[in-house]
Structure 1
Amino acid sequence: MHKSLITTIIAGIAITLGMMACNKNVYDEKIHEELIHYYSKVDSVDQQHMWQLSQDKTLRFQVPSGSSYKQLRVYTANPLTDSNAELMSQIYVSSGKSGSLTVNVPYQLSTIYAALVDASGLLYVSSLPTSSSPLSIDFTDVTKGVAITSHKPQTYTYLFEENYPEAGDYDYNDIVLRVSQQRTAENEITVNVTISAIGADKQIAGCIRLVGYLYENIDSVYTTNGDSFNEGFNPQKQYYFHKDTTLLIEGQNHEAVLNMFCDAHWAMAFNMSLDYGLFQRKKYNVLTSVGDNYQIRTPRTISYVIRFKDGFSSVLDNFTLDTLDPFILTEYNGGVWETHTEQFKSAKVLHEYFVPSFKDLPWALMVPEADFLYPLEGHEIGYRKKTEDGKVAMYGAYATVGHSFGEWAEDHNNYLDWYLYPNKQLTY
């Protein structure tokens, strides 16, 4: 791109984006698109891309008549033999009950395991390929046994860029969350949230929308240990654009919203003894060494217990990780902007903001892996562009040829296993 055009784009976007909060009519989306593409790490993003690596699937079941089974569980691996199996779903059943439930299945998962559980805790396990259509459990041939361990719930990693609607640096470590959900009673879901890393410089708030569930559907929300990410937080001491510390708030469309944290830095890392009584915004867990602005801190987890009102037991059979919409809030030019994953980017849960119609690299990603290795500070997740001589330059944290983020960005139907091929020298 010629230098004169770059100058024009930068000048134009500075003016138009700077005026968006005041008058949406001056916004020039074409200039915005050109600037974002100029800073993009790939030449051509697949315009059909939804940046998804998993999908919800319906699973049909029939509990044998005359049985004493109490629960039906679905796992990512055999719970009788694999300690790394994750619990995808858990519903309550009785003799002869038939119906369906929903599970969120990563594209790379070829087999899932369904287990009926009796009153003594014994599991009766059957496997089925995820490629089946429809997914239907056959309990005529099962393996009986005890779970090898208390399996953790299925956990996904959510990665955010802090600069929306401006271009990011695409290392996707400004906020890193690990999120899981588990049915813990007939009318209860527990959502576990871990803040693993913060590579941002500014205040970032965070929430989770319960997609399709209204605020009035919820009876109560509390945390398992009584703590919250806002513990000790005092928004009156300085200006904060997000001050509400209530655990559950109501969205603009009356949906239920878990109000996680007002300030990510405070939520994860504020410590009087380590910070000499001062609150400083440093970067946490994005480099393997420490320095003036970089620290290594233990990830912090809060578990939210959500109790639904009577009558929602059967509806919760279809509650999956795809029912959760984690998003961050940042201040930009006098307004508050929400950053969601692609499928929810237009949600406008708490605030009004512009949503560009063009498609380039997203500002948020979900990876269906609990221990996804996110890029170190300063290393893009994947760069793939042609050089002047026509060759393709490819580097970054996920740049293995045939299994790279850049290739997936250009073709949403292929290279879906890219997140399984990290460069461990460039990831945390």
Structure 2
Amino acid sequence: MRRIILFASIIAIAIVSTLFSCVDSDKNFYDSSYRMPNPMGDEFVAPDGFDWSMTETTTVSVEADNEDAQYYSLVEVLDANPFSNSDYNVLAKGTVKPGQTFSQEVIYPQGITYLYIRKTDPKGRVSVNTLAIGDRQDLSVKTVRALKANTRTNELPEKYSEETYDTTGAIELVGNTNWNQDNHHLEGGKSYIIKNSFTGNINDNSQYSGIFTIFVESEWTPPHNMVQSANIIVLKGGKLNISKFDSFLIGDNSTLTIQSGGSLVGNDLRLATKTLMKNFGTVNVNSMKDLNSNCTLYNAPKASVVITGKSIGLQEFTVFTKGLISNFGGFTIQNGTLKLNSEDSMQLFYNGDGAVVNTPTFIIGGIGTNDGTINALKITNAGNPTFTNNCSLYAKESFNLSGTNGKIIMNKGILAGGIDGNNIIAIPSFTLGSGQATVEINNGSMIKAEKITITDSTIKTDSEGTRSLLKATESISTGWTTYFKGNLDIECPEGKFSKEAYIMDNSVKLYIPNGSKTIITSCSEITEVPDPGTAPKDPQFPIKLEDNRNYSYLFEDQWPLYGDYDMNDIVMTIKKRKLKLSKHDNKVEEFELEIELSAVGATKKIGAAIMFDGVLASDITEEVDFADDDDDDDNTLIKNFNLNNYNIEKGQKYAVVPLFDDAHKALGRDRYIQINTISGHSNNVKKTKTISFSIEFDKPTLPADAFNINKLNIFIITDGNAANRREIHVAGYQPTQLADVSSFGGNDDASSISAKKYYLSKENLAWGIIVPTNFKWPLEYVNIKTAYNQFNDWVTSGGAGNKNWWNDWNETKVFQTNKN
């Protein structure tokens, strides 16, 4: 009877104790079937298979690409882009040489979507490329609206040859404006010639009788502002002067040919539908404001078109074409704009091999190809163009494509600011605005600009052949739907690349300006030569890795019973993880660890240790060296552990290094009181305890990933350090050989040695978790789901959602001295 009363009293005490930080978990020795209320709520169950991990694991393999086979390249795996963010951590490091492969297991926080592989070759040249490892890699395929089909897209325009003409039999037009018009009626099918300065009127009714031909041997000033149904041929030495009209139209179904040595001068020249103008001589007019659909303006090699722009008035465009401009010579606009109409028409533009276009502003529309050189101050777009640049496209001031989902395609082409001697100069500003534009820079092409801004657009290359180059001398800014794909090098100053607001293929590599190995040669044989680097040499050995990412370890101390789930009974944080690696095989010569004990919410004695799940006890052949951070011998913190001569625990299969045997004493308190879990409490301490130790290996045999975070099994001990002790590990981590596992499956616990399921409850809750950040732990008596708004959803989603839940805390619910 007395035993029954005593047992009831224990349960009553336990119920009362839930009002405090901890309960007396010894009651499970009396009744392993006793259950505490679910601290997350009666209906709360974490999904089956949820392991509470906030990190992911991948294997990174890297091959050397240096040409110096006897030397090593240095490989580093980073958790952020060093070109964008100075706050990055080195997760793995080692060396590789041709014929070898660097391969390591890498651990990273779940919220990370990219790892960055930084490689330093023997000549000191540094490259960075991405490894997509998160959800955003699925965004790399996007839908771009298909451009309208055009049967002329893949065809180069016809290249005309200059003809000779037999003017025998042509009717000479003579006289002046006083002559009777009827005497100058031009009939279809007949040829006429102007040998002297003819100023007479003509009466053209040829549209009813066919097309007539006029040969211009001297200077001719037409009497009207339009000629139609005519073949006008300006012979060598001839001149067509249209200066008396504000605008002159070559009408429907007409042709205008200017032979070499011939010329055309005037104000505004316009070409009507289905007209053909062939220039082998010179054209000098103020504007060409309207080149209509299906017309063709052909400018031959050595021929010249000069648009002065002197009389454009309020007109927006000096040259506005909805037809075809096919240039093989010189085409110069001195003032104003060359505008190619949008893709909605059959407009085409072609600048041939050796041809040169000069214009203050170039507005790209429709379908165009450049095989020569285009010089502009500003380049922008109209509509959704498809423009191919196979040679030199220069914008001295700016290049800006906005509101378009068109394409710019480059094949061994250069898009830059111009040429200065033998140097390719950068465009001051290159912008792809919103609209999902695509720029393809294939086969050794280059875009070079001072500042590059890319929003909702894609820069990509072909997957094979010579690498192409996107070169920013000052900065690159991107949007969330910016894509970089393919065989592409990107140069940008460190710290001036966008804050990871982009999607980048694994094959893309980042370099500092002039740091890539890709030599770009323009069609004019001007080259962009990279820095050749220094004389080859190995990196400095041993290789030193220092991972400064913080990993916080949070424990409840009531296992196998639930506690109050404020996750602050013990708070420890790994601050630094250091490795020294051997030269030839990336084996560990020395390992260092720094752990901070920050808070103790428990009101009983608690110790802690770390088991290396990838290191056997027999691998430790040198004494573990504990550092001294505050003039106290750290060995006094572990005097109650049973250690061998190497400062690791006896009787263990895997190496177990003690951290402290009394958390309260480690923080300078001699009473079992709550420390740093109640704001403003007199028990709190400002100076936390840092435990540091190192392990040396005189004969390195262990790989670097044996010391990865997922192999560091930090645990707490709640009943002393003897055998059959009560250990509490992070969810999923195995107990040591000294642990008492008789409570597995009892009370709230659902651990199973046969199933390799450790320290998870019947509702799949954890007693210990690792948060990959410098964590702000909840205040005493505050459930972690109350302190962190997204914690509940993260757990119930099985870790699929709210992966960065630790960034959303309630400032009134976390320990105040630890908040931002």
TM-score by length of 1: 0.75
Residue 550 of structure 2: which of 155, 168, 175 is its match? 155
Answering whether residue 634 of structure 2 is matched by residue 231 of structure 1, we say yes
1:207 is displaced (CA, Å) by: 0.7
Give the superposition deviation at 1:123. Answer: 4.1
Question: What is aligned with 2:657?
Answer: 258
Aligned to 1:376: 779
Structure 1 residues 301 and 218 mapped into 2: Cα distance closer, same or farther (>3 Å)? same
1:197/1:20 CA distance change after superposition, 3 Å: closer
1:232–1:126 Cα change, 3 Å? closer
Structure 2 counterpart of 1:100 = 103
Counterpart amino acid of residue 206 in structure 1: A
Q: Give 1:380 deviation, angstroms.
A: 0.9
- Where do residues 45-194 of structure 1 align in structure 2 (5 Å cutoff)? 45-46=45-46, 47-67=48-68, 68-117=71-120, 123-131=126-134, 141-144=509-512, 152-179=547-574, 180-186=576-582, 187=588, 188-194=590-596
Other structure's SS at 2:53 match: coil
Output the amino acid matched with 1:284.
Answer: I
Q: Deviations over 1:36-68 (max 9, x none)?
A: 344444622223321111121111110224344
Give the fraction of aligned pairs with identical amino acids, expressed as a percent: 24
1:158 deviates by 0.7
Structure 1 residue 113: deviation in Å? Answer: 1.1
**In structure 2, what is the equivalent of residue 397 of structure 1?**
787
More helix, by proportion: 1
SS state of the match for residue 302, structure 1? strand
> Bigger shift: 184-193 or 36-45?
36-45
Comparing 193-202 with 246-255, greater Cα deviation is found at 246-255
For 2:26 and 2:689, locate their aligned partners in 1 and report how far apart those are by CA, in whole Å.
36
Find the aligned partners of 1:194 and 1:120 in 2 and give their Cα distance: 40
Task: Give me the whole-angstrom Cα distance separating, in 2, the residues matched to 1:174 and 1:248.
Answer: 26
Kept in 2, the 8 Å contact 1:245–1:261? The answer is no
In structure 2, the CA distance between the partners of 1:225 and 1:257, relative to structure 1 (3 Å rule), is same
Residue of structure 2 in register with 1:426 after alignment? 813
The offset of 1:234, in angstroms, is: 7.8
Deviation of the 1:233 alpha carbon: 3.2
Equivalent position of 1:411 in the other structure: 797
Aligned residues of 1:203 and 1:264 also touching (Cα < 8 A): yes
Instruction: Find the partner of 1:290 among 681, 694, 698.
Output: 681
Shift of 1:407: 2.4
Provide the secondary structure at the position in 1 that maps to 2:548.
coil
Q: Unaligned stretches of 5+ in structure 2?
A: 1-7, 16-24, 139-504, 516-544, 583-587, 751-760, 816-820
Q: What is the number of equivalent residue pairs in this alignment?
A: 372
Instruction: From the superposition, tell whether residues 98 and 312 of structure 1 become closer, same or farther in structure 2 (CA, over 3 Å).
Output: same
Cα distance between partner residues in 2 of 1:121 and 1:171? 50
Judge conservation of contact 1:64–1:96 (CA < 8 Å) in 2: no
Q: Report the Cα offset of residue 144 of structure 1.
A: 4.0
Partner of 2:599: 197
Q: Distance in 1 between matches of 2:549 and 2:123?
A: 24
> Is 1:320 aligned to 2:708, yes or no?
yes
CA pair 222-92 structure 1, distance change in 2 beyond 3 A: farther
Partner residue in 1 for 2:43: 43
Q: Name the residue aligned to 1:386.
A: none
2:444 aligns to what?
A: none
Taking the aligned partners of 1:98 and 1:261, their CA distance within structure 2 comes to 40
Deviation at 1:312, TM superposition (A): 1.6
Deviations 1:71-114 (A, max 9, x none): 32111112344222112112233444314111112111011111
Shift of 1:319: 3.5
* Structure 1 contact 325–340 (Cα < 8 Å) conserved: yes
Cα separation, 2, equivalents of 1:234 and 1:210? 20
The answer to whether residue 769 in structure 2 is matched with residue 351 in structure 1 is no
The alignment partner of 2:792 has SS state of helix
Corresponding residue to 2:613 among 211, 221, 232: 211
- The residue that corresponds to 1:393 in the other structure is none
Closer, same or farther in 2 for the Cα pair 1:375/1:20, shift >3 Å?
closer
Q: Which amino acid aligns with 1:320?
A: N
Preserved contact between residue 207 and residue 257 of structure 1 (Cα < 8 Å): yes
Task: Name the stretch that deviates more: 302-311 or 321-330.
Answer: 302-311
- For the residue of structure 2 that corresponds to 1:377, the secondary structure is coil
Question: Are positions 1:363 and 2:749 aligned together?
Answer: no
Tell whether the 8 Å contact from 1:90 to 1:182 is kept in structure 2 after alignment.
Answer: no
Distance in 1, matches of 2:132 and 2:707, equals 21
Q: Which runs of 5+ in 1 are unaligned?
A: 1-6, 383-395
Deviation per CA, 1:312-334, whole angstroms, max 9, x where unpaired?
A: 25x224531001110000019x9
Q: 8 Å contact 1:56–1:102 — kept in the other structure? A: yes
* Amino acid across the alignment from 1:194: E
Quote the offset at 1:201 in angstroms. Answer: 1.3
How far apart in 2 are the matches of 1:247 and 1:282? 33
Distance 1:226 1:372, change over 3 A: closer
Tell me the alpha carbon deviations over residues 148-178 of structure 1, each in whole angstroms, 9 at most, x when there is no partner: xx97523211101122222211111111111
Distance in 2 of aligned mates of 1:61 and 1:212:
23
